[in-house]
Every structure is written in C-alpha cells, then in structure tokens.
Amino acid sequence: MEFTAKQISELLNGTVEGDENVIVNSFSKIEEGKPGSLSFLANPKYTNYIYETEASVVLVNNTFVSSKEIKSTLIRVEDSYKSIAQLLEIYNSMTEKPSGIEKQAFVHKKAKTGKNVYVGAFAYIGKGAVIGNNVQIYPGAYIGNDVQIGENSVIYPGVKIYYKTQIGKDCTIHAGSVIGADGFGFAPNTDGAFLKIAQIGNVIIEDNVELGALVTIDRATMGSTIIRKGVKLDNHNHVAHNVEIGQNTVIAAQSGIAGTAKIGENCMFGGQVGISPHVKIANGTKLSAQSGIANSVKKEDSILMGAPAYDIRQYHKSYIHFKNLDKIVKRLDELEKKLNNEV
Amino acid sequence: MEFTAKQISELLNGTVEGDENVIVNSFSKIEEGKPGSLSFLANPKYTNYIYETEASVVLVNNTFVSSKEIKSTLIRVEDSYKSIAQLLEIYNSMTEKPSGIEKQAFVHKKAKTGKNVYVGAFAYIGKGAVIGNNVQIYPGAYIGNDVQIGENSVIYPGVKIYYKTQIGKDCTIHAGSVIGADGFGFAPNTDGAFLKIAQIGNVIIEDNVELGALVTIDRATMGSTIIRKGVKLDNHNHVAHNVEIGQNTVIAAQSGIAGTAKIGENCMFGGQVGISPHVKIANGTKLSAQSGIANSVKKEDSILMGAPAYDIRQYHKSYIHFKNLDKIVKRLDELEKKLNNEV
Amino acid sequence: MEFTAKQISELLNGTVEGDENVIVNSFSKIEEGKPGSLSFLANPKYTNYIYETEASVVLVNNTFVSSKEIKSTLIRVEDSYKSIAQLLEIYNSMTEKPSGIEKQAFVHKKAKTGKNVYVGAFAYIGKGAVIGNNVQIYPGAYIGNDVQIGENSVIYPGVKIYYKTQIGKDCTIHAGSVIGADGFGFAPNTDGAFLKIAQIGNVIIEDNVELGALVTIDRATMGSTIIRKGVKLDNHNHVAHNVEIGQNTVIAAQSGIAGTAKIGENCMFGGQVGISPHVKIANGTKLSAQSGIANSVKKEDSILMGAPAYDIRQYHKSYIHFKNLDKIVKRLDELEKKLNNEV
C-alpha cells in the first residue's frame, strides 16, 4: 500500500508544503522517522525532531510555524493527532479480518448468531447466547449461557464471559479478560471459616467500551455491575461486584475498584489506583497513579494523589517536606538546644 | 420460581409480620427494592431504606425495632445476612448445572474421572490426572499430568493447572487462574545474565478454598506452595513459590505475596497489599489496602497500614501531620525567625 | 532415580566428606531436610540448620567451616547455589516432555512448524506463523497470524500471542500471558468521548526471555515494543505500548510500565512498582517494591524507594521521622509554648 503526499492530503482535507508526489508506505514516530514513512508532530515537546527526521512526510497542525529548514514534505491539517488516528484506523481496517465459523468452534444449537459473525476454533458459545451482526469471537473465547453481545463487538482470544452477561455494541475486549466471575462475598462463621454468598446478579457493559487484556469485572451479588458507554479500562484492571463506572471514564492499568463503589463520568485514573468499597467518586475526578481512595470524593473535577488521596498540589508540597524530614527534625533539635541553653 | 412470605419464613425458621401471602420471585438490594422482590436489612447504615423500599418482603434481624411505618412484609430471623446467604444459595443451586463429558474435550486415557463429572469442550485432562466425584471442569480449562482434584470442586473456564498440583474438596477456582507455574527463581551469572533455577516442587490447595479470576499460585522450587483450607483469594492475587497461607485467611484483589513468606491463619488483607520474601505474618493480622510488609509481624491480631506497614492508628496520626507538613514547617520557620531575632 | 553422594560429587566436580555411599532420591530445603534427600547451604543465614538437618547429603561451599558435628554427608563445591541449580535442571530435564502435534490442534496450512515441535490440543496456530525447531506450544495457546517463535521456546497453556509478534530463541512464556494486545491509546473528542488510536505496531521479544503467568505486553502504536535478551518478568507484569526493556533486567510481580518508557539494562525492580509514561531509567537501577517513578532516573545503579521514588537511604530516614511525626509535632508545640510564655 503506497500513497503520495497529495493523496493523503486530500483524504485529510489538508494542504501540502513541499513535494506532493513523494511516496510513503509506512508510519513512524517523528524521532525514529525513516525515508518512505509518514510521521506527525502533535506534542510541542517533539518539535525539534521535525528538523532532523528522515520521514518523507510529516503531518503538522495548521498553526505550526517552522524556525528552520525542514527536509520532509509537510501536510498541514487542523489537528495532526486526530488526522494520524484517522490514517492509522484506515490502515488498520485494510488488514484482513477473520470471518465465518471455524469448524472446531462449539456453538450451542440454542444460541443465536447474527450475520457476518466470526467464531474461531475452540471458541465456546453456550445455550441461549445471542451474538449480534459482525461480531468477532476469537479462538478459545468462552461465551456462557444467555450472554448477549451487541453488533460489531470484538472478543479476543481466550476471553471468558460468564452466564447472563450483557455486552453492548462496538465493544472491544482483549485477550484473557474475565467478565462475570463471582463477586468476592463471604460471611464469617462463628468458627472462623467463611460462608460463600452466592452471586446471582450479572454484568452489564454498555456500548463502545474497550477493556484491555486480563481485566476482571465481577458479577453483582444481586442486580448488576455496570460499565457505562465509552468507558476504557487498561490491562489488569479489577472491577468488583456491584460497582458502577460512569460513561467515558478512563482507567490505566492494574487499578482496582472494590465492591459497590460508584465511579462518576469522565473520570481519569492513573495506574495501580485502589478504590475502597462503597465510596462514590464525583464526575471528572482525576487520580494520580498509585492513589488510594478511602472515602467518597464529592467535589467534581478534583485532582488527587496519595493514599489516602487528597489535593495533588498539597500532596506534592507535603512530599517535598517528607523528603526533607531529616533536615526539618535537625532544625527542631537545634531550636530545642538553643532554647534549653538560654533557659 | 415464586414463593410466598410464609413459605420463605418457614424455610428460614422465621416469623412473618404483615401479609404472609405476598409473592416474591427475585432478590433486590434494599435501596433498589422493587415490588415482587425480596430484600434484607443487615447493616444498620441502611436502616433508613426500609421505610422507603418497594421490596415486597424484607428479612430483618429479630432485634430490629422499627421507628416508622413499613410497607413491606417483614420476616424476622436470627441473622438476616446469613438467611439471605442461605436463600441465595438455594436460588443458585436451582440453576441448571452442566454435566457429562462434552465431545470436544480431551481426557487422556490414563486419567481417572469420578462419578457425575462435567468436562466442557476444549478442556484438557492430562495423563495420570485424578478427578473426584461431582467435579465440574469448564470449557478450555487445562489440567496437567498427575493433577488431583477433590470432590465437588469447580474449575471455571480457562483455568490452567500445571502438573502434580493437588487440589482438595469443595474448592472453586475462577476463570483464567494459573496454578503451578514456575516460581520466579534465577541465579545471577558473572556476565549479568541470569540462570534459571528449575522449579521442581508443586502446589497443594486444601479443602474449601476459593480463588477468584486470574489468580496465580506458583509451584515451589522444592517442596510445596501450600494454601490451607478455607482460604479465599480475590482476583489478580499473586502467590509466589514456597509460600504458605494459613487456614481461613482472606485476601482482597491484586495483592502479592513474595517467595517463601508464611501467612498465618485467619488473617485479612485489603487489596494491593505486598508481602516481602521470607517474612512470617502472625495469625489474625489485618492489613489495610496497599500496605507493604517488609519484616515479619510477630504479634497476633495486629492491624497495620502503610509501606512499610505499622500500627494503623499511629499511621493515621502520622498521615494527618503529613498532610499538614507545609503548615508545620511554616511554624518551624516562624520559631526560627523569632529566636534569631531575639538573639 | 537414585544417586550416591559419590556420583553427585563427581557430576559437580566436588569432594565428599562423610559416607560417600549414602543414597538420595529427592531434594529438600535444609530446614525441612528428610533422610534420603539432598539439600544445600548457600545463604549464611541458614547455617544453623546444617547441624540439625535430617538431609542425607548437603552441598556446601568449599569455604564452609563447620563449628559443630554434622550428621549429613557433605559435598564441597565452589558455589553450592549454582550446583543445586545444575542438579535441579538435570532432574527437571529427566521429566517427560510432550512432543508431536496433538490431533485436536489447529495449525493453519500456511503456518510453518520446525522439527520436533509440540503443539497441544486446542492450540491455534494462525496463517503465516513460523514456529522454530523444538518449540513447545501447550494446549489452548493462541499463536496469531505471522507470529514468529524461535528455537527451543516454550509457550505454556492458554498464552495468547497477537499477530506479527516476534519471539526469540530459548524463551519461556507461562500460562495465560497475553502478548501483543492493543496499546491503550485514545484521543479525547470534544464531547468527552474517546477515539481509539489504532495500534499497528508489534511486540519483539529477544532470546532467553522468561515471562511469568498472566503477563501482558502490549503492541506498539507504531514501531515495536521491545523486550531485550535475558529479561525476566514475574507474574502479572504489565508492559505498555512502545516500552523498551534493556537486557537482563529483572522485574518482580505486579509491576507496571506505562507507554513509551525506556528501562535500562541490568535493572532490578521489586513487586508492584509503577513507571510513568515516557520516562527513561538508567542501567542498573534498583527499585524497592511498590515504588513509583514519575521522572527519568539518569544516574546508573541508583537504589530508589517511595512514590515518587528517591534514594532508598534517604527514604528510610524520612520514613522513621514520618512514623514519629506525632512526637515531632508535640516537640514543636512545646517550643512554641515556651517561646510564647517567654515573650
């Protein structure tokens, strides 16, 4: 697949500066740009690379002003990051997609599959499951009884989805994730042992959700654990029973949300964050990586850090003093000495 | 499945207050109670909801005293939480359980399977494995050579159990967990590379253990990694080689226990806890979420927090001061100024 | 398999002290040594056990000097830890290895498999995949299109490898790990929703790498995520898109490395460490468990702790004061009182 700068520019509604006939056939990062590749400049931190890059074509924002000569052909667009995302998507959509039901798949006779569905070998689709049009289910995935999966969703290899889970349209679930396993519910017995609380609820995942690899979302004890539309969870996230995550919230890898917590909309959490059971997190909350939330966050758009977490600027101030505690205590020693000598 | 309040009350050995003929066919949480559902009140925090709930029937403790009128029929029992657990279990046990050996399963001719066993499609049972009566092995699970699994245990989809692992009776292992992978053992070479130490031990899991989804328990270098009876580990837990976890200990999600650590009985750990190699943790130790244990905990029933963890009340005191460090240092500045001016 | 002390000594080029005809048939740790077993003493902490152990034979360093009588036969070698590693490896290599392509495996007709390959039942090998000689692919593993796997590598059950991943020689990947899932890349839209950035790069794993169970290594947005030769990653590690990990770096369980971070050679990270996006970590950096790295580490061989992490000795000093903050603030109160009384 080869394109000229002119062709790409037309696709993106951009304008060319330089040789419009130069040909590219791959993508590269601007700091690693090679001849024949297309790159982009979005983050101003990387501006210096544009004067050195070997990339044949570079996408830049309309507002970009060069301060030196540039070897590459430029394509000016309104938002270079979105334009590169658009091109990557086009490139990606040109790779061959699997289709059909492979011979070694297991599809229960009482399951329903839509049009143009892919079911890979060793995938298992249980009784009463309903699989929408254009859904792709990769090899070794397990779709339990009565699970519903909406149109265009992609279930990667080895994903395990327990019975009665509902998944919306245009969702992506990466390999090895487990949806609908039992919530962690036990009642203590008098002898120190624990009695299991049966988990009879389910999991509901709305449209346009993406889950990374090896994510777990537990079924509710009663009712539903709910992931609202547009949520993005990175690898190794843990979502406990009866949690609800509001729409368009994004959570980085290895974070954990304990039972019955309610996470607002448009939140952004860093990696390895921990949320205590039963808390509510206001819309737009941002949590720094490794933060721990012990109590509800009531003010919207808070930016928090620490364990337990509080205002990130305050945290940074405290942490600078923490690093200096040895000096601070020596100052205190000094003062005490002075005062005691005086007295 | 429909029941009257009277029928449920008889089952639980309770007493009815209100309409004993009202019919329920589902469960609900008290704050989300709907007509036709049965709910319960166990945690006093939720008491206010009982005056507003739409649930047709609510289980309450014998000791419950109402302060306002309640629309729902009440069933009084000794322990409403245990009663609801009992009902959920009954409800759960009425859902169809899979049975038989599905055609696409692989069962080695030298493996032994007990009576009334379920082996799902694409499950693999290796040479010399011994599977007890009533065991359920879901699709895509892997049972290595010479693995033993005791009666009534449930192995969910995609669980991977390496050779020679021993699993007791009445255990539950959720999807994607990996039991018996090599411990992380390497010896440094003089050239900076690492030499693998072969891990020739195994894993022993005693009776009535529940492991969540995507848990790892590594095999011992020599000897056994041991999970004692009644232990409950939540999703994404990591248990390294040669660890021992004492009976009825409960650990929340994403915690990690490093090599050769010995965890006592009846401990409770929050999520994302880390335990250093070789330490011993006394019986009854409670660890707050995200704690880190660097040294052995010798006193039983300690409640610890922080990294490294220490007494939780002391930690909370220190943390309040930490949050105020900026003010504290300003007070110190002030004092120094005063003293220096004086002098 | 039984050996005399003499036979083992000859194998290891050691010297026997005591009965050279004593027979052993198993391994044990020195503190749990049983008659008929072989044990070793490497860590001086365990020296006391040598006077009590029931092990029939103990490997010790040539430099070992006993202070009391020892019942066991000793074999003196240059490095007892390396010798035991060598023996474990010999023992391990004597256990039966699977071979051949099991009937229920799926191997695409356009995939290539080398000599002496094992492909277990329900394993899937996609179009264009190239599998080297002596590779073992256990049941339920998924090898995507155009994946390459070098000679002697072992892919344990249920590992999922996405298309175009390249894996070197002598690698080991434990069960359930996911290599090549999409990086976590999204661009915010004006309406609060997120647009997926197609991830069109791949993952390259060089020779002699070992990955534990349930590790994730995401494919690059463009270019490659790279794991250099000799790297060892423990269970539940997360490696994001476009990360590079330098050779012989070792990372304990549950650590996470965010996008585009570059980790140097010969680093050692404890468990549950978090690395921020885009940072560079110098060669030889050591990080204490649960550390968080927010900025690049420029000085080689630094030993760091905390979140954000800094010099470990400084951290320990600060932490001691942190634990005493309540007392420190009381001293400050006292000083203020004195000064105010005086004035």
Phi, psi of B270 (to 5 degrees): -75, -175
Does residue B343 surpass a pLDDT of 60? no
Per-residue b or e along A163-201, where b marks 16 or more CB atoms closer than 10 Å to that residue's CB: bbbbbbbbbbbbbbbbbbbbbbbbeeeeeeebebbbbbb
Tokens of B102: 């599905």
Q: Which residues of A are catalytic?
A: 241
Phi, psi of B210 (to 5 degrees): -120, 125
Check residue B45 and give its pLDDT.
Answer: 86
Average of per-residue pLDDT across C222-236:
97
Portion of chain B with pLDDT greater than 90, in percent: 84
pLDDT band at C342 (very low <50, low <70, confident <90, very high): low
Region of A103 (left: φ > 0; alpha: ψ -120 to 50; beta: rest) is alpha
Check residue B26 and give its pLDDT.
Answer: 85
The model's pLDDT over A224-248, given as tens digits with 9 standing for 90+, comes to 999 999 999 999 999 999 999 999 9
- Mutation to test the A interface, candidates C125, C137, C184, most A Cβ within 10 Å: C184
Check residue B53 and give its pLDDT.
Answer: 94
B218: which residues sit within 8 A by CB, 6+ positions away?
A: B180, B181, B182, B183, B184, B199, B203, B225, B239, B240, B241, C212, C213, C235
Tokens of C3: 């050996």
Test B106 with C88 for CB contact under 8 angstroms: no
Supply the DSSP symbol for B252: -
Whether the bond into B308 is cis, omega within 30 of 0: yes
**Separation between Cα atoms, residue A183 and residue A181, nearest integer Å:** 6
Check residue A342 and give its pLDDT.
Answer: 66
DSSP secondary structure of C24-85 = E-EE--GGG--TTEEEE--SGGGGGGGGT---SEEEEETT---SS---SEEEEES-HHHHHH
**Separation between Cα atoms, residue A30 and residue A45, nearest integer Å:** 11
Test B200 with C92 for CB contact under 8 angstroms: yes
CB atoms within 10 A of CB A25: 11
Test A321 with B332 for CB contact under 8 angstroms: no
Q: Which residues of C are catalytic?
A: 241
Test B158 with C174 for CB contact under 8 angstroms: no
pLDDT band at B95 (very low <50, low <70, confident <90, very high): confident
Between the two ends of chain B, the Cα-to-Cα distance in Å is 87
The model's pLDDT over B307-332, given as tens digits with 9 standing for 90+, comes to 999 999 999 999 999 999 999 999 99
Query: Which residue among A186, A290, A318 sits closest to B323, beta carbon to beta carbon?
Result: A318
Alpha carbon of B126: minimum distance to chain C alpha carbons (Å)? 10
Check residue C91 and give its pLDDT.
Answer: 84
The model's pLDDT over B202-234, given as tens digits with 9 standing for 90+, comes to 999 999 999 999 999 999 998 999 999 999 999
Query: Which residue among B124, B178, B193 sits closest to C176, beta carbon to beta carbon?
Result: B178
Which residue did the predictor score with more confidence, B90 or C315?
C315
Does residue B237 surpass a pLDDT of 80? yes
Contact list in C for residue A324 (CB cut-off 8 A) is: 318
CA-to-CA separations, C307 to A101, A289, B18, C137, in angstroms, rounded: 49, 9, 57, 40
Average of per-residue pLDDT across C11-29:
93
The strand pairing partners of B31, in sequence order, are: none
Average of per-residue pLDDT across A213-230:
96
Alpha carbon of C159: minimum distance to chain B alpha carbons (Å)? 10
**Separation between Cα atoms, residue C324 and residue C318, nearest integer Å:** 10
- Mutation to test the B interface, candidates C152, C325, C328, C333, most B Cβ within 10 Å: C325
Check residue C103 and give its pLDDT.
Answer: 95
**Separation between Cα atoms, residue C57 and residue B114, nearest integer Å:** 41
Check residue B342 and give its pLDDT.
Answer: 66
pLDDT band at A1 (very low <50, low <70, confident <90, very high): low
Test B314 with C329 for CB contact under 8 angstroms: no
Q: Return the minimum-mean-pLDDT range out of A12-21, A217-226, B182-191.
A: B182-191
The strand pairing partners of A306, in sequence order, are: A309
Alpha carbon of C81: minimum distance to chain B alpha carbons (Å)? 8
**Separation between Cα atoms, residue A276 and residue A294, nearest integer Å:** 5
Average of per-residue pLDDT across C256-269:
98
Identify the active-site residue in B236, B238, B241, B278. B241
Phi, psi of B265 (to 5 degrees): -85, 155
Average of per-residue pLDDT across B18-29:
91
Check residue A280 and give its pLDDT.
Answer: 98
pLDDT band at C321 (very low <50, low <70, confident <90, very high): very high
Between the two ends of chain A, the Cα-to-Cα distance in Å is 87
Test B258 with C265 for CB contact under 8 angstroms: no
Average of per-residue pLDDT across A117-145:
98
Average of per-residue pLDDT across A71-78:
96
Test C236 with B236 for CB contact under 8 angstroms: yes
CA dihedral C231, C232, C238, C241 (to 10 degrees): 10
Check residue B129 and give its pLDDT.
Answer: 98
B341: which residues sit within 8 A by CB, 6+ positions away?
A: none
Does residue A343 surpass a pLDDT of 70? no
CB distance C232 to C214 below 8 Å? no
Tokens of C112: 């290539």
User: Which residue type occupies A207?
Assistant: D
**Closest among A118, A177, A128, A106 to A152, alpha carbons compared:** A118
CB atoms within 10 A of CB A301: 12
β-pair type (A194-196, A186-188): antiparallel
**Separation between Cα atoms, residue A285 and residue A309, nearest integer Å:** 12
User: CA-nearest residue of chain B to C120?
Assistant: B124
**Separation between Cα atoms, residue A232 and residue A213, nearest integer Å:** 12
The length of chain A in residues reads: 343
Portion of chain A with pLDDT greater than 70, in percent: 99
User: CA-nearest residue of chain A to B33?
Assistant: A223
Phi, psi of A197 (to 5 degrees): -95, 115
CA dihedral A164, A168, A174, A175 (to 10 degrees): 30
Does residue B35 surpass a pLDDT of 60? yes
